[in-house]
Amino acid sequence: MYLDYFGLKAYPFNTTANPDFFYESRGHEEALAALLYGINERKGILVLTGEVGTGKTTVCKALLNRLEGKAKSSLILNPYFNQNQLLEAILEDFGVKPGHKSKLNMLNQLNRFLIETNSSGSAAVLIIDEAQNLSAQQLEQIRLLSNLETAQEKLLQVILSGQPELAQKLNKHNLRQLKQRISVKCSLSPLKKEEVAQYVSHRLMKAGKQIEIANLSFDIIFDFSQGIPRLINMLCDRALLCGFARNSKNLSPDLFGECVKELQ
């Protein structure tokens, strides 16, 4: 709606997890590096946690971009399945068409796929987003999948990505075997105040054009969002829409203040 008015070629503040707009704050860069290390070294189970809106899904998609051509991947975004359905979804996302959908047959298919992938020199990476919603039985199934290995290394690298509740769940006594197999843990924090202006500028440039925003406006953006990227996107998108509606390219602190009131 406002793209032509501001001279943009794409919406800079969509709340979808678009890796093309990935901003590598120090925290996001460290998390990405830790996950890449875990995959390259065949560490098995990796865990990424962070509050709602901090960019976990975007990090996972950026990771897949970095691994393109080097690994086979399966990304499960909403694991609302029973155990058999989860296994079927993993196979299909790896590009393996399940035959007979018994658990034993699908496990055998997955094992053959992993052995073939490993023999070709590639890694196989399973990412489960929103993993805090997995049941104890599903998490136990993930642990068993992580046991698939050769004499030298793990055949499947698993990334569990979720909200802080995931870490709490993994601390439960009945999941201690899974917790002991977690070799890499990383967490995402909100952006620091000084990173907010860099984040906004980065996304605008990726969308095609830098737009002047007063320093006081960034104070308002940080106070509203507390550094949560998703909330920054919501506010900045609303500000661009309001500027367009008022035929004003001046994204002033007053305009941002009014947008905050609309979003609260």
The CATH number for 215's domain is 1.10.8.60
Tens digit of pLDDT for each residue in 207-249?
A: 998 998 989 999 999 999 999 999 999 999 999 999 999 999 9
Mean pLDDT value of segment 112-120: 93
Closest CA to 202 of 61, 29, 4: 29
One domain, residues 125 and 247: no
pLDDT at 114 over 80: yes
217 inside domain: yes
Amino acid at 113: F
User: How far from the centroid of its chain's Cα atoms is residue 122's Cα?
Assistant: 22
What number of other Cβ atoms are within 10 A of residue 194's Cβ? Answer: 9
Number of domains in the chain: 2
pLDDT at 252 over 90: yes
Mean pLDDT value of segment 199-211: 94
Tens digit of pLDDT for each residue in 50-107?
A: 999 999 999 999 999 999 888 999 999 888 888 888 899 999 999 999 888 899 999 9
Tell me the average pLDDT of the chain.
93
One domain, residues 127 and 206: no
Write down which residue in 143, 163, 188 finishes a domain.
Answer: 188
16 inside domain: no
Tens digit of pLDDT for each residue in 1-50?
A: 899 999 999 999 998 889 999 999 999 999 999 999 999 999 989 999 99
Instruction: Let me know the angle formed at the C-alpha of 244 by 241 and 248, rounded to the nearest 5 degrees.
Output: 125
Write down which residue in 133, 162, 188 finishes a domain.
Answer: 188
Cβ atoms of 9 and 208 closer than 8 Å: yes
